[in-house]
A and B are shown apart, each in its own frame.
Chain A
Amino acid sequence: MHPLIRRTRTRRAASAAVAAAALLVTAACSSDSGGDGGGSGTDADTLVAYTGQAGDYQANFNPYSPTTIEGPGTIFEPLFYFNQARDQEPVPRLGTEFSWNDTGTELSITVREGVQWSDGEPFTAHDVVFTLEMITEHPAMNGTGYSGTAEAIDDTHLVVRFDEPAYMDGPQVLGRIWIVPEHIWGEMSDPATDTVQEPVGTGPFVLDEFKPAAFTLAANPDYWDGEPELKKVRFVALSGNQAGADALKAGTVDWQTGPVPDIHNVEKNYPGYRAITVPLNQIALLSCSSAELGCTGPQTDPAVRQAIYYAMDREQINSLAFENTASEISPGFALPGRDSAVISQNLENPTAPMTADAARSARLLEDAGWTKGGDGIYEKDGERLSLTVSVVTGWTDYITAVDVIGQQLKAAGIEIIPQQTSWNEWSDSRGMGNYQLLIDSLYQGPAPDPFYLYSYFFSTATTAEVGESANPNFARFSDPEVDAALEALKQTDPQDTAARQEHFDLIQTRIEQNMPYIPVLTGGTTSEYHAEKFSGWPTTDDLYAFPAVWARPDHSQIFINLKPAGE
């Protein structure tokens, strides 16, 4: 999910601009053929990507910086690629094999032989150890919570040791740590703040040229898997989604992520283009659910949350707010499709009902002591069943969704009052717990495994009392049994699916009963790509990588696979 991108389209008034954004990009494309070091780069094998960047780029190719503009996957590689969109084995990149010892405290990794850094120096396991030690020494770079100690056995083997079983840390270490060259990074005075103007990596691409309004990557001729057929990738800055859609129309952007109007007819409206929608993030009404942690309001009553859950007509929400790009959601928050195998049999609904069940909703409320008042809204002890829902100004699909849900809930005797707030205020009240309901989506972890989502959003360790910053268990859900199951999962070999399922069953049923995050739908991430110019894109049948242009390192996996059609 990427509401920032997809919703900003309305901020830029839609009335401006029909095809003129093209001017910028047309020029960008047509002038590329002049020799600028890349040699074989021509228009036909240059892919123009638009990541939603509005405004100039500030050159920063440090893959560990939160403000990096490019690097992970394309210039700097991880050891393995983990596909969060499909349940599949990790794809070897710089690593070739890995294995855990029996207790999950020791991770042995074999790295690829004969790989060179783009400056010609050889890559070895010592570079991997150096990278891991560097992020340990500089906590500001340790965004993955890495806590092991690494030791190189020889040039191609290393071992990472952990104090306790760390199966679940594996995908972070293997897939989210970008290996950097020791001979360059070892000399930096402060690698955390260095902006790495001349990045040297092992990746399929190298930096070609940088300008504030666009920068270009060129295929690495010495890439260990052979020079990619896609010769150049140019990242452009446009003013917003409207400009992106205009550029698509003009055929001057080859790949962007974000919905365009009339999304189901992309092939007709944008000749040569196709669209793909991948469900990955669950849209939910987050509730400040725990009275113990300081939440106030009717939503602290689980019956109210359940009643809201049953009163929603998800088909209507999907068609009115999401152009039918959303899909079914499981109340246990495993991802239908990818995680179908682990969706618990013990759930009352394996997926949330797509139509409203008013009778069920009313029964839940009445059993909990709510009675219908004169205005058709339930009340209890003089308190009306009226809730506020925060939504960020300008996020049109969420605003529409909240309006639709409001209508549906009103019919069920529940009043919700949408409150549009600025982004900063919204994220502040979400973190601090100063809200009753808000609409947001839950995100997945580094590997195709629902464990990560559970550990992020349902663990006591990631929540806080109201008034303190929770990160990211915003709903203030805290259940010792779920905590214990999460702890047990950390110590269970991921291969042992039977042992894991027991814990997943418990977590999912507890979540369904408590419902701190009221499931709405699984949101689809839609991308439009130039299928006529390049072949090899992921499809819903062959989802070899998550196809979002801003998803790193997923995009690099796609760049490697693309072939220019003109050759």
Chain B
Amino acid sequence: MRYYARKLGFYLVALWAALTLNFFIPRMMPGNPVDTLMAKLQQRGGTVDPAARRSYELLLGADTGEPLIIQYFAYLGNMLRGDLGVSVSVFPAEVSSVIGQALPWTLVLVGLATLLSFALGIVLGAVVGWRRGSWLDSLVPATTVLAAVPYFWLALILVAVFATALGWFPLQGGYDVVLTPGWNTGFLGSAVYHGMLPALTIVLSSVGGWLLGMRNMMVSAMSEDYVLTARAKGLRTTRVMTRYAARNAVLPSLAGFAISLGFVVSGSIITEQVFSYPGIGSKLLQGVQNNDYALMQGIFLVITVAVLGANLVVDLLYGFIDPRTRVET
């Protein structure tokens, strides 16, 4: 029990540290929301009377004049209550509603893509490892190249080929604009269709890592005595491969997978940019570009909690799976 209490305590401290950084780092950025808004309106519409600045300061509450430390404690209090504040860039929308709108898109797209990429990488890795030395080994450099290619470049090439030249997939967006978002087949179908190309780019660029890790673990597992024993017993090859070698080889990858699930929430800023996808990554960019502190903090909070949560789960699971990690030094 002490083991779990210590773990939880550690995560609370980590959460506090992350929240504190969330508060201070955005405020170290140059600019402030009001001037950024003014500059943006000037660029867009041309005419902004100097008097507008005062009115926006009042409207956005940017000019509170409170010392930073008081703002900090107010912020901590608000976070505890789950009040993420009001977004400046889409004033007066609540940050929680902005995030709420964007999060499902990211969770589904990046979540499914991560899952798919993991499953594909593990299966291929197991097969490639099992048949090491055969032509299948060429899959390793092939997928690693895809992973090494800058992601945006890969995405742009796929867009140029499949969306622009061939016209198989839509170029951008999360769904067809004429449809009303909701649980209807037209919208869901459109969302799936729009998600395919972004998902494909994520899978292509990340499958190489899983494949490589799995293949190498597979190779070392195959030289273990229990694999030799299994073969000597005359078990079927597929059974030896899946039940004996792969099952042991997959353990380290599983831990990595749990952590990467935590990062799903942070989305994939570049994917969402390239495809104009309405997810959390594009909202984060919007927050940064507009000095929208509340929105940035809200998104960072969600990311932090998700990553810490995923780590916590892994930690607890490890303690469960492997009793050695629970033993005090």
Contacts and interface: CB of A to CB of B under 8 A. Distances in A.
A550 B30 contact: no
A212 interface: yes
A512 B286 CA distance: 40
Interface residues of A, number: 76
Interface string B73-108: 000000000000000011111000010010000000
A143 B49 contact: yes
Contacts of A4: 40, 43-44
A2 interface: yes
A5 B177 CA distance: 22
Q: Closest 10 CB pairs between A and B?
A: A145-B51, A213-B177, A143-B52, A140-B59, A239-B276, A424-B31, A428-B31, A20-B171, A428-B30, A140-B58
Contacts of A425: 30-31
A214 B175 CA distance: 12
Contacts of B264: none
Contact of A239 (B56, B172, B180): B172
Interface string B164-204: 10010011110111101100000000000000000000000
Interface string A443-460: 111100000100010000
A33 B276 CA distance: 27
A44 interface: no
B45 A551 contact: yes
B243 to A, nearest CB: 46
Contact of A27 (B38, B91, B101, B176): B176
B31 A443 contact: no
B177 A211 contact: yes
10 contacts: A2-B43, A15-B160, A16-B171, A17-B172, A21-B172, A25-B177, A31-B178, A211-B180, A211-B181, A471-B53
B36 interface: yes
A438 to B, nearest CB: 12
A213 B173 contact: yes
Interface string A1-20: 11111000000010111111
B50 interface: yes
A548 B152 CA distance: 33
Given A24-B177, A66-B91, A144-B52, A192 B31 contact: no
B286 A462 contact: no
Interface in B27-65: 29-32, 35-56, 58-59
Contacts of B59: 65-66, 140-141, 192-193
Which of the listed residues B43, B44, B170, B173 has the most CB atoms from chain A within 10 Å of its own CB? B43
B45 A552 contact: yes
B278 A17 contact: no
Contact of A469 (B35, B49, B176, B288): B35
Contacts of B31: 424-425, 427-428
B43 A1 contact: yes
Interface in B133-174: 152, 156, 159-160, 163-164, 167, 170-173
B93 A462 contact: no
Contacts of B159: 16-17
Interface in A233-266: 236-239, 243
A13 B152 contact: yes
A225 to B, nearest CB: 25
A15 B180 contact: no
A472 interface: yes
Contacts of A353: none
Interface in A53-81: 54-56, 58, 60, 65-67
B291 interface: yes
B282 interface: yes
A280 B46 contact: yes
A139 B291 contact: no
B230 interface: no
A20 B51 contact: no
B84 to A, nearest CB: 16
Interface of A: 1-5, 13, 15-21, 23-25, 27-28, 31-32, 52, 54-56, 58, 60, 65-67, 84, 139-145, 172, 176, 192-193, 195, 211-214, 236-239, 243, 280-281, 422-425, 427-431, 443-446, 452, 456, 462, 469, 471-472, 548, 550-552
Contacts of A67: 89-92
Contacts of A429: 30
Contacts of A55: 276, 278, 282, 286
A20 B89 CA distance: 29
B274 A5 contact: no
Contact of B54 (A17, A28, A139, A550): A139
B51 A144 contact: yes
Nearest to A72: B45
Contact of B90 (A58, A176, A423, A428): A58
B53 A424 contact: no
A214 B286 CA distance: 19
Nearest to B282: A55
Contacts of B98: 58
User: Which of B47, B58, B181 gathers most chain A CB within 10 Å?
Assistant: B47
B238 interface: no
Contacts of B53: 471
* Contact residues of A: prevailing secondary structure: loop
Contacts of B39: 423, 427, 430
B58 A139 contact: yes
A84 B47 contact: yes
Nearest to A447: B47
B89 A28 contact: no
A305 to B, nearest CB: 23
A172 B156 CA distance: 46
Contacts of A195: 92-93
Interface in B254-292: 274, 276, 278, 282, 286, 288-289, 291
Contacts of A452: 47
Identify which of B98, B101, B178 gathers the most chain A CB atoms within 10 Å of its CB.
B178
B164 A424 contact: no
A420 to B, nearest CB: 14
A65 B92 CA distance: 9
Contacts of B288: 424
A65 B55 CA distance: 10
Contacts of B56: 66, 140, 143
Contacts of A237: 177
Contacts of A23: 167, 170-171
Given A24-B172, A427-B31, A471-B53, A550 B45 contact: yes
B198 to A, nearest CB: 13
A21 B173 CA distance: 10
Contacts of A142: 51, 54-55
A20 B170 contact: yes
Interface in B2-48: 29-32, 35-48
Contacts of A21: 171-172
B161 to A, nearest CB: 10
Interface in B231-249: none
Given A20-B167, A424-B30, A446-B47, 11 more contacts: A17-B171, A65-B59, A67-B90, A143-B55, A193-B59, A213-B177, A238-B276, A429-B30, A452-B47, A462-B50, A550-B44
B170 A24 contact: yes
Contact of B46 (A15, A25, A66, A551): A551
Contacts of A212: 101, 181, 278
Nearest to A142: B55
B29 A145 contact: no
A141 B50 CA distance: 13
A540 to B, nearest CB: 18
A456 B49 CA distance: 8
Given A3-B43, A28-B177, A56 B164 contact: no
Contacts of B173: 24, 213, 239
Nearest to A455: B50
Contacts of B289: 423-424
A164 to B, nearest CB: 16
B197 to A, nearest CB: 11
A2 B30 contact: no
